[in-house]
Structure 1
Amino acid sequence: MTTFASLNQPSPSHAREPVPPDVAQALQAAAADEERGKRPISRSIDLLRQAGLLRDDGATDPARTARALMQVGAANLSVGRLWEGHVNALYLIRLHGSEAQKRDAAHRTADGALLGVWGADGNVPVTLDATAKRLDGNKRYASGLGTVTRALVTVNSGPEVRLALVDVTDAARADPSTWNMQGMRSTASGGYDFTGVPADEVEWIGGPGDYLKEPHFVGGVWRIAALQAGATVGLLDRAASKLRAAERMDAEAQKARLMDVLMRAWAGMAMTERAAAASADHFIAQDDIVATSIAARLYTEEVGLDAIRAVEQSIGLQHFEVGSETGRMARDLSVYLRQVARDAFLQRAAQTALGNDGRIWGVFG
C-alpha cells in the first residue's frame, strides 16, 4: 500500500513498522466487504493474531504499540477499534490482575480469544445486585458482539467502580440493532444484557476504584489518539490515490489543501508516540503523563475533522457516492472521533500545563 508517509511500508528500521505490509494491505482490502456484511471482521482479527499482534498489551514498548495502532487504523479503523479494546483489556489485567489471571489471559489469547473493555452503561447500569449473587443491567456501544469472547465490564459507578471479566459469547444477550450509527458499522457494536449473570461466573480484576487510577485511565487515551492519527493519514492517502488516478493531484490547490492537513497529521503522530512513551516513563509526573495523553487525543481529533473537510473539498461529489472508499473511511473516522468528555479533558490538561509557573516544559518533556 502506497501512502504519503509510507505508513505501512518497511522502513530502514524494521522496529518502526510493527505491522507487516501484507497484513496492512489485507486489512485495507477487507474493509468494504466487512462494512457490507460480506466478510466477518473476525477474519481480519485472525490476521492480527497470525502476525503476533494480539499478544501486545501496550506495556512493554508503548511507542511501538502506538505505531502499530496507527498502521492498523490507517488500513481499517473498525479492526483497529476492536484491537485497541483487546490491548486495553490485556493491559488492565496486567496492571490489576493476579498472577493466575495474567497467565490465564495469556493462554486464552494464545487459544484465539479476543478481549474487550465495555464501559458505557445502557438504560440500566450494570451493578452487582443486592444479594451479591448476580449481575443486573446492560451495556451500550459494546464493540465486537460475536467476536469479542470475554469483556472487561465496569460494574457499579462512581469512585468504587469495579472491573469484571465476563464471558460474552451468549448471542441471546447481544442486541446489535441498537448500533444505528452511520460509521463504524463493521465493529458489530450494540447492547449486551448482563442481567442474571451469576456472580460466581464473574472474574473480578483488581479492587474497587482500581480502574480509575492514573496515569493508566485517562493517561491511556494515547491509544485512541493513535487510531485517530492513523485513520486520518489513511484517509488522506486514499484521497491522494483517487486524485492521482483522475489526474487531479497536480493542481496547486489540491496539494496545498491536503499537504497542510498532512503536516499536522504527522505532528499528531509524533505527539502520540511521545505520549505513549511518557506513559511508561517513571521519571515523569503522573499529571504530566495524563496531560500529554489528553493533548495527543484532542489534537488528533481536530486534525481528523480538518482532514475529512479537506478530502470532501478535494474529491467533490464523488466522495459521497454509495461505495466510495473515501466516503466510508470518512464516516468511520467521523464517528470514532466523537469520544466522550472532550471539554473535561481539555480543562484538565489546561490546568496541569497552564495552572502553575514552569509546567509547560514539564508536560512536554
Structure 2
Amino acid sequence: MNSAPRFDPFPPASQINVLNDAARHALRAAARKEEIGERPIGTSIDILRDAGLMLEDGATTPLRTVHALMQIGAANLSVGRLWEGHVNALRLIHLYGNTAQASHAKELTRQGGLLGVWGADGQKPATISDGALQGEKVFASGLGTVTHALISVNSGSKVQLALIDVTDPQRGDASQWDMLGMQATASGKFDLSGIAVTKENLIGVPGDYLKEPHFVGGVWRIAALQAGAAAGLIDAAATALRDMDRLEADAQLARLMQVLMRVWAGMALAERAALASLDNAPEETIVSTSIAARIYTEEGALEAIKAVEQSLGLRHFAAASETGRMARDLSVYLRQAARDAFLKRAARHALSSEETIWGVFK
C-alpha cells in the first residue's frame, strides 16, 4: 500500500470552500478536452453558474472572491481567466456605472451571459466616431463564449469604458492566438468597426477605468489565480508521483514542499491585498500590496514549474501530460505587462518611511 504523504494545495485552516469537490474535479477533468477543442469552455462556466458564482463582483465579497480564484485556478486556469474577467467587469460596472447599468449587467448574467474586460488595442485603437465604434481589440479572451465585453475606448486620461454585445461570430478571430498555453480561452482579435454606441453603453466618465485603488490595486485577482494554478500544478505532480510510488523519496518531498510553502505565502499576501480596501488602507498601500502579491506569486509559480519538471522528468513533457498542460497554461498566464514598472512603484511606496514598510500588515 502506498503510504506516502498527501499534499494539500490549500492550507486547511484558512481555506474557504467556494467550490465543492465534485465541481473542482469536473473543472479539472474538462481542461484537456477544452484545450484541444473537444468540449466548449462554456460548459465549465456553467459549473460556476451552478455554484452561484456568476453574480460575484468582488467589491463586497473580496475574501470569497480571492479564494474562488485560487480554487478555480487550481482546477482549470483557462476557466479562471474567463471568470476573473467576468468578475472584473461586474466590479467596474458596480463602481462606475449607474444603478440601471449595474442592474442590466446582472440581468445579462442571470440570463446566461458571460462578461469580459478587453483592454488591449490592435493596430487600429478603439475609438468612437459618429455614434459608432471603430478599431479593434486584441488578446480578447473568450471569443465565442463571452457575450458582452467591457472595452476601453481612447487612451490615457480620456479612456472610456463601454459595455457592448460581442456575440457576432463574424467579428471575432482566434486564429492568431498561437501561444503554447491558454488555448481554451480562445483569445484573439475582435473587430469593433460600426458597432453603435449610445450613452447607455458608456460606463462612468473618461478616466474612471484608470482610477486607483481599483486599477493596479486590483491585480490581487491575478495573484490569486497564479497562486491557485501553482498549487494545482504541485498537487497534480504529487498525485503522479504517488501513483508511481516515487513521492516517498526525501528529495521529492523537500523539493515540492519548499515550493508549496512559498505558494501558501503568496496566497496569504493575495488575501491581504484583497481585504485591504475593506480595512480602509491608504490608496497607495493597497496598490503596492497588490503589486507585491502579483509579483511574488509569479515568482512562486515559476519555481513550481521548475520543481515539477525536475520531479517528474521526461514524463512531464509528454503530449498528454496533465502537468505539462497545466505548466504551459501557467507559463503563458504569468507573462503580464509592465512587471518592472510595477515593482518599482511598489518599492518606492513601501520603502518610503518606517510606517509604510509594514504595508497592510500594520
Structure 2 length normalisation: TM-score? 0.96
Q: CA distance change for structure 1 residues 139 and 222 in 2, over 3 Å: closer, same or farther? A: same
For the residues of structure 2 that align with 1:150 and 1:80, how far apart are their CA atoms?
A: 17
Q: How many residue pairs are counted as aligned between the two chains?
A: 358
For the residues of structure 1 that align with 2:143 and 2:278, how far apart are their CA atoms?
A: 31
For the residues of structure 2 that align with 1:309 and 1:12, how far apart are their CA atoms?
A: 27
Deviations 1:59-95 (A, max 9, x none): 1220211001000000000000000000000000000
1:272 to 266, 270, 295: 270
For the residues of structure 2 that align with 1:3 and 1:47, how far apart are their CA atoms?
A: 27
For the residues of structure 2 that align with 1:287 and 1:364, how far apart are their CA atoms?
A: 14
Q: CA distance change for structure 1 residues 238 and 216 in 2, over 3 Å: closer, same or farther? A: same
Give how far 1:12 is off: 8.0
For the residues of structure 2 that align with 1:99 and 1:66, how far apart are their CA atoms?
A: 25
Matches of residues 242-253 of structure 1 in structure 2 within 5 Å? 242-253=240-251
Structure 2 match to 1:5:
8
Give, as a single letter, the amino acid of the residue that structure 2 aligns with 1:92: L
Matches of residues 268-347 of structure 1 in structure 2 within 5 Å? 268-282=266-280, 284-347=281-344
1:174 to 172, 175, 181: 172
Q: CA distance change for structure 1 residues 358 and 159 in 2, over 3 Å: closer, same or farther? A: same
For the residues of structure 2 that align with 1:213 and 1:111, how far apart are their CA atoms?
A: 30
List alignment gaps of at least 5 residues for structure 1: none
Deviations 1:135-190 (A, max 9, x none): 11111100000000000000001111000001000110000011110000000111
Structure 2 match to 1:259:
257
1:85 equivalenced with 2:82 (yes/no): no
Give, as a single letter, the amino acid of the residue that structure 1 aligns with 2:198: D
Would you say the 8 A contact 2:9–2:235 is kept in 1? no
Give, as a single letter, the amino acid of the residue that structure 1 aligns with 2:7: F
Structure 1 match to 2:139:
141
Q: Secondary structure at the match of 1:53?
A: coil
Would you say the 8 A contact 1:67–1:226 is kept in 2? yes
Structure 2 match to 1:195:
193
Would you say the 8 A contact 1:219–1:279 is kept in 2? no
For the residues of structure 1 that align with 2:311 and 2:287, how far apart are their CA atoms?
A: 36
Give, as a single letter, the amino acid of the residue that structure 2 aligns with 1:136: Q
Structure 1's consecutive aligned runs of 4 or more residues displaced over 4 angstroms after TM superposition are none
Give, as a single letter, the amino acid of the residue that structure 2 aligns with 1:340: A
List alignment gaps of at least 5 residues for structure 2: none
Give, as a single letter, the amino acid of the residue that structure 1 aligns with 2:159: V
Q: CA distance change for structure 1 residues 200 and 61 in 2, over 3 Å: closer, same or farther? A: closer
Q: Secondary structure at the match of 2:231?
A: helix
Would you say the 8 A contact 1:57–1:88 is kept in 2? yes
For the residues of structure 1 that align with 2:320 and 2:49, how far apart are their CA atoms?
A: 29
CA RMSD of aligned residues (A): 1.6
1:41 equivalenced with 2:41 (yes/no): yes
For the residues of structure 1 that align with 2:115 and 2:205, how far apart are their CA atoms?
A: 20
1:349 equivalenced with 2:339 (yes/no): no
Would you say the 8 A contact 1:166–1:202 is kept in 2? no
Would you say the 8 A contact 2:9–2:232 is kept in 1? no
Q: CA distance change for structure 1 residues 313 and 351 in 2, over 3 Å: closer, same or farther? A: same
Give, as a single letter, the amino acid of the residue that structure 2 aligns with 1:128: I
State the identity %: 62
Give how far 1:250 is off: 1.0
Structure 1 length normalisation: TM-score? 0.95
Q: Secondary structure at the match of 2:278?
A: coil
Would you say the 8 A contact 2:276–2:360 is kept in 1? no
Give, as a single letter, the amino acid of the residue that structure 2 aligns with 1:108: L
Give, as a single letter, the amino acid of the residue that structure 1 aligns with 2:168: D
